[in-house]
Amino acid sequence: MSTSAASAEPLLEVQDLATHFRVGGGFLRPARQVVRAVDGVSFSMQQGQTLGLVGESGCGKSTLGRTILRLIEPTAGSLRFEGRDITALSQAELRPLRRRMQIIFQDPYGSLNPRMTVRAAVGEAMRVHKLVSSRSEEEQRVAALLERVGLRPELMSRYPHEFSGGQRQRIGIARALAVEPRFIVADEPVSALDVSIQAQIVNLLMDLQDELGLSYLFVAHDLKVVEHVSHRVAVMYLGRIVEILPKREIAEGARHPYTQALRSAIPELDPKKRRTRTLLHGDVPSPIDPPAGCSFHPRCPIAEKGLCDRERPLLRQFGSDHFVACHLADRAERTANAGAGAAVLPAPGPV
Ligand SMILES: Nc1ncnc2c1ncn2[C@@H]1O[C@H](COP(=O)(O)OP(=O)(O)O)[C@@H](O)[C@H]1O
Ligand SMILES: [Mg+2]
């Protein structure tokens, strides 16, 4: 899919990706059902950039992030990483690639072994991938990494519980960086932190990107954070991408009613910039039995009967790097790029 104008080879290309979970079934249990956590997602990402992935809880963001890293098996679709099809690689074949693709979690406490010192936790990954040849070299590199993420190297002999949430996230980042990755899935890395600490961690991630040329898939339910860190933003709803757009267009150019609702949930302090608010009612429906047509239609303020509840909207292109899956996206227009017209996305398959 050529959704990006850049000529360099994309870091990652995701095509028609689906991840379904089978749940239930068995003795005296309800019949087996299929959870369509990710249901036909296509996008690509450039090297050195951040793609933000935003949507309410339960939309499939974590499942998508983990499927991309092949931590969860895809049900359908394809994944290309650095030009190579990794969809069907065995776990053994994936092992050398694991170094290049890392993940940072919302709760590093859950991912750090409580009985391992920071020194051991950060050093472990280096040892597994044979990046160090001696204990002293490992210790030196752990110290340098801790320093790089803003922790005093003397703290390396301590255990995770001796650190604050923000410090633990720095340890999680150091651990991910230990293997010199190119691509990091950051799954709600600041969602559990106080706002003041969030900014520090976000700034650290952005500095590391500049310095090391890292690419991030930055997952969050908070559009404000995503908007700050991202070059492009993908908005996910019930297992699908409903809008993908450059950061600069989020403020005034978002066209999907869901994106607009997420945006209007951000408090605006400047009264001159206050806008009409689109409030979201109800919860995200179950991905076991998603609504027909556009899955957002039951909560959409502009949905049209007979259209939105019947036909699934495909991603259509509006502007050079902006795609929207909404039948009424033309009406949601708010920006000056009026008249650009809509072109049907040439990507094959349902989106
Ligand atoms: N292992 C699993 N088995 C069954 N359902 C799952 C599993 N993991 C996630 N889900 C379901 O898939 C949907 C998407 O979940 P998730 O990817 O965690 O969303 P998000 O990260 O956006 O909150 C949810 O309905 C969730 O309950
Ligand atoms: Mg999640």
Evaluate whether 100 touches 12 at the Cβ level (below 8 Å): no
Single out the residue of 174, 83, 69, 71 nearest to residue 120, CA to CA: 174
Atom 12 of ligand 1, residue of closest alpha carbon: 37
User: Does ligand 1 lie within 6 Å of residue 21's CB atom?
Assistant: yes
For residue range 204-236, what is the model confidence (pLDDT) as tens digits?
999 999 999 999 999 998 999 999 999 999 999
C-alpha span between 76 and 67 (Å, rounded) = 11
Ligand 1 contacts CB of residue 57 (under 6 A): yes
Between the CA of 117 and the centroid of ligand 2 the distance, in Å, is: 27
Share of the chain above pLDDT 90, in %: 74
**Residue owning tokens 């959409």:** 300
Q: Tell me, in angstroms, the distance from the centre of ligand 2 to residue 221's CA.
A: 8
Burial class of residue 164, CB neighbours in 10 A (0-12, 13-18, 19+) = exposed
Pocket lining: 19 vs ligand 1, CB cutoff 6 Å: no
CA distances from 106 to 111, 145, 170, 188, 203 (A): 9, 20, 12, 5, 16
Q: Is 260 in the pocket of ligand 1 (CB under 6 A)?
A: no
Check residue 319 and give its pLDDT. 87
- Comparing C-alpha atoms, which of 185, 287, 312 is closest to residue 237? 287
Q: Cα dist. 335→6, 21, 242, 251 in Å? A: 24, 40, 19, 10
pLDDT at position 53 is 98
Work out which ligand 1 atom sits closest to the CA atom of 55: 22
pTM equals 0.89
* C-alpha distances out from residue 244 to 77, 209, 282, Å: 19, 21, 24
**Residue 313 CB less than 6 A away from ligand 1:** no
**């809008």: which residue's tokens?**
243
Task: Compute the distance between CA of residue 272 and CA of residue 239 in angstroms, rounded to an integer.
Answer: 36
For the stretch 13-24, pLDDT in tens is 999 999 999 988
pLDDT the model gives residue 85: 97
The reported pLDDT for the residue numbered 341 is 37
How many other CB atoms sit within 10 Å of the CB of residue 90? 8
* Of 62, 23, 16, residue with least CA distance to 39: 16
Q: Which ligand is nearest to the CA of 238?
A: 1
**In testing the pocket of ligand 1, which one of 21, 218, 238 has its CB within 8 Å of the most ligand atoms?**
21
- Residue 309 Cα to ligand 1 midpoint, Å, equals 24
Which protein residue's CA is at the shortest distance from atom 3 of ligand 1? 21
Q: Whose CA is nearest to atom 14 of ligand 1?
A: 60
Which of 173, 179, 104 is CA-nearest to residue 138?
Answer: 179
Ligand 2 center to 241 CA (angstroms): 15
Shortest-distance atom of ligand 1 to CA 219: 21
Ligand 1 pocket mutation, candidates 35, 57, 73, 107, criterion most atoms within 8 A of CB = 35
CA 250 to CA 208: how far, in whole Å? Answer: 24
Sequence-distant contacts of 226-232: CB under 8 A, at least 24 apart:
226/52, 226/53, 226/54, 227/52, 227/251, 228/202, 229/50, 229/52, 229/202, 229/205, 230/50, 230/51, 230/52, 231/46, 231/49, 231/50, 231/51, 232/49, 232/50, 232/51, 232/52, 232/321
Q: Where exactly are the structural domains of the chain?
A: 12-100+181-344, 110-168
pLDDT along the chain (351 residues), means of 10: 59 98 79 92 96 96 97 97 95 92 84 91 91 94 97 96 94 95 96 92 97 97 93 97 96 94 79 67 88 96 95 94 95 44 38 37
Q: What CATH number belongs to 12-100+181-344?
A: 3.40.50.300
Angle value at C-alpha 21, between 323 and 60, nearest 5 degrees:
35
Q: What pLDDT does residue 333 have? A: 53
